[in-house]
Amino acid sequence: LQLQNAADSTVTAAKIIVLQVTAQDDKELAKVEFFQGGTKIGEDPTSPYEQSVNLTRDDNGNLSFTAKAVD
């Protein structure tokens, strides 16, 4: 999981960031699911797998994002 724009690793104002995942399997993937903390925030069924995240001023501090590839 990476940021589309590396400069988005530090956010000081409201903005939209884009998460990207490179994933592959021995067969076709059904989708990639994206999570912020333990909450699912979206999914993408097509490569390149991406998720936009709308951050506000209240989202200061450390945020944790993960992705899960689904067969």
Question: What pLDDT is stored for residue 19 in this prediction?
Answer: 95
Backbone angles phi, psi at 7, to 5 degrees: -65, -15
Question: What pLDDT is stored for residue 7 in this prediction?
Answer: 73
For tokens 């994933």, the residue is: 23
Helix and strand totals (H; E) in the chain: 0, 6
Give the separation between CA 18 and CA 60, rounded to whole angstroms: 17
Give the separation between CA 28 and CA 60, rounded to whole angstroms: 37
pTM: 0.85
Low-confidence ranges of the chain (pLDDT < 50): none
